[in-house]
């Protein structure tokens, strides 16, 4: 079976998505997610200008050879744009291969190792009453693990507190990428105060544990903002609340900083959603400095790249915790779920749920039942893209916010 075409599709049903569709001479097509929040057109151009022209005529089944050809052949390897583009090609080829075999992708990856993938949702609130209501809503929706993000007294807007918590947007309309006030296509700016955050968060978890008990798996995302010592302090302060994980406690590329954090706290640590290669993790994995890898199929070289990472993580007792916000498209989410079902060292799957508008464009067969996600039994990934619907939502530039400390210094968002 030969590749005959590779086309990029950009659509924006509430937020921007970049999708690659590969077509073969036997009429089979495959989809790959190439969405990089705030930098979508960079990936689309890399695909359209530099990868797509190389694909027609290639054996659609030669997935590993194509991966190596596009990875090593680029010379300039790794990086978020390159690896998201490569991910889209790889995922689309796995979609095709599984369709050709007449089976869901997870069967090609070794079959099911579990009934379903434990999902976690995002509860948030500007204040405690709103947060507790959000936890109740997620429990009512069937979630059995919940991420806790809270407003911070004295700060106007804080990462992870959903629009709907502020009364705007659709129920699942959490989208951090937006324009600044007045619609100018430039990042909004937010103000951050780590000391206020460190003072506030233990009381938040105290209240959540008091309300919902000791069993419910609770997660929290530090979102890259703390120094190693601040992260060590928060990890220690949260130990009484038995978190499932503390995520991105400090900027992950400073891998050796995790040695310091690890030496102070037993709170489990998760890192890696901004990584794009297994090589970003080597110290973290070899020294067991983290408990979960956070990468997404979409950002880590596809099914091939993610499987390689998860196998190395498994050798070191580290489990998966794949990134699954709304800026991973349903195609990327489906690919994650097939891996979640098959790999042995599964941990948990982030599942923010896409908006109804997004699901008008991407027809999915994965399901969320009793707190577990399952990719479904459709051949391939189990996702189809409705081009008519996609055309109704043209691309609009959007940027993730820029964060500043109270004195104006740019900080990690
Ligand atoms: C967050 C993401 O879900 C998470 O863990 O870190 O929502 C992140 O903020 C977005 O993916 C950025 O586009
Ligand atoms: Mg995160």
Per-residue pLDDT of the chain (413 residues; tens, 9 = 90+): 999 999 999 999 989 999 999 999 999 999 999 999 999 999 999 999 999 999 999 999 999 999 999 999 999 999 999 999 999 999 999 999 999 999 999 999 999 999 999 999 999 999 999 999 999 999 999 999 999 999 999 998 889 996 554 444 445 556 788 866 666 678 989 999 999 999 999 999 999 999 999 999 999 999 999 999 999 999 999 999 999 999 999 999 999 999 999 999 999 999 999 999 999 999 999 999 999 999 999 999 999 999 999 999 999 999 999 999 999 999 999 999 999 999 999 999 999 999 999 999 999 999 999 999 999 999 999 999 999 999 999 998 999 999 999 999 999 99
Decide if 393 is inside a domain. Answer: no
Enumerate residues 6+ apart whose C-beta is below 8 A from 18.
8, 9, 10, 33, 34, 35, 36, 40, 41, 43, 44, 47, 88
Decide if 396 is inside a domain. Answer: no
Last residue of a domain, one of 104, 127, 162: 104
- Report the 10 Å Cβ neighbour count for 72: 9
Last residue of a domain, one of 56, 78, 104: 104
Closest CA to 90 of 298, 342, 264: 298
Q: Quote the number of domains for the chain.
A: 2
Contact between 398 and 350 (Cβ < 8 Å): no
Helix axes 330-342, 302-315, angle to 10 degrees: 40
Q: Do 318 and 226 share a structural domain?
A: yes
* Catalytic residue (choose from 138, 223, 224, 323): 223
76: exposed, middle or buried (Cβ count in 10 Å: 0-12, 13-18, 19+): exposed
Residue 95's domain is classified under what CATH number?
3.30.390.10
Q: Do 72 and 42 share a structural domain?
A: yes
Ligand 1 atom 7 nearest Cα: 325
DSSP state of 190: E
Q: Do 166 and 59 share a structural domain?
A: no
Residue with tokens 């964060």: 403
Backbone angles phi, psi at 374, to 5 degrees: -135, 135
Q: Can you read off the two tokens belonging to residue 81?
A: 């744009």
Residue ranges making up the domain that contains 100: 3-104
**Protein residues with CB under 6 Å of any ligand 1 atom:** 37, 176, 221, 223, 273, 325, 327, 350, 400
């Amino acid at each position: 079976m030969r590749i005959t075409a590779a086309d990029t599709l950009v659509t924006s049903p509430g937020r921007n998505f970049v999708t690659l569709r590969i077509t073969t001479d036997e009429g089979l097509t495959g989809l790959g997610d190439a969405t990089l929040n705030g930098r979508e057109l960079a990936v689309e151009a890399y695909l359209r200008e530099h990868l797509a022209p190389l694909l027609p005529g290639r054996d659609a089944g030669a997935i590993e050879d194509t991966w190596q050809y596009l990875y090593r052949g680029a010379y300039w390897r790794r990086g978020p744009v390159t690896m998201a583009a490569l991910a889209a090609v790889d995922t689309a080829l796995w979609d095709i291969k599984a369709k050709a075999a007449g089976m869901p992708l997870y069967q090609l990856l070794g079959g099911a190792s579990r009934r379903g993938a434990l999902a976690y949702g995002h509860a948030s609130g500007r204040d405690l009453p709103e947060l507790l209501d959000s936890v109740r809503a997620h429990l009512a929706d069937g979630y059995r693990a919940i991420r806790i993000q809270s407003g911070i007294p004295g700060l106007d807007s804080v990462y992870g507190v959903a629009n709907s918590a502020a009364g705007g947007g659709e129920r699942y309309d959490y989208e951090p990428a937006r324009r600044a006030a007045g619609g100018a296509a430039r990042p909004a700016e937010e103000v951050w105060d780590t000391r206020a955050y460190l003072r506030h968060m233990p009381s938040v978890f105290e209240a959540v544990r008091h309300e919902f008990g000791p069993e419910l798996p609770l997660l929290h995302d530090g979102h890259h903002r703390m120094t190693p010592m601040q992260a060590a302090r928060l990890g220690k302060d949260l130990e009484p609340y038995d978190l499932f994980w503390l995520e991105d406690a400090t900027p992950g590329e400073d891998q050796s900083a995790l040695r310091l954090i690890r030496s102070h706290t037993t709170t489990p640590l998760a890192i890696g959603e901004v990584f794009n290669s297994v090589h970003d993790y080597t110290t973290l994995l070899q020294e067991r400095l983290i408990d979960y890898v956070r990468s997404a199929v979409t950002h880590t070289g596809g099914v091939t790249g993610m499987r390689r990472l998860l196998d190395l993580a498994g050798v070191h007792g580290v489990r998966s915790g794949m990134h699954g916000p709304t800026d991973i498209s349903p195609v990327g989410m489906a690919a994650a779920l097939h891996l979640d079902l098959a790999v042995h060292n599964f941990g948990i799957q982030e599942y923010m749920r896409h908006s109804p508008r997004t699901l008008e464009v991407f027809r999915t067969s994965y399901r969320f039942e009793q707190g577990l996600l399952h990719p479904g039994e459709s051949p391939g990934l189990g996702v189809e893209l409705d081009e008519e619907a996609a055309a109704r939502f043209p691309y609009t530039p959007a940027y993730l916010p820029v964060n500043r400390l109270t004195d104006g210094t740019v900080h990690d968002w």
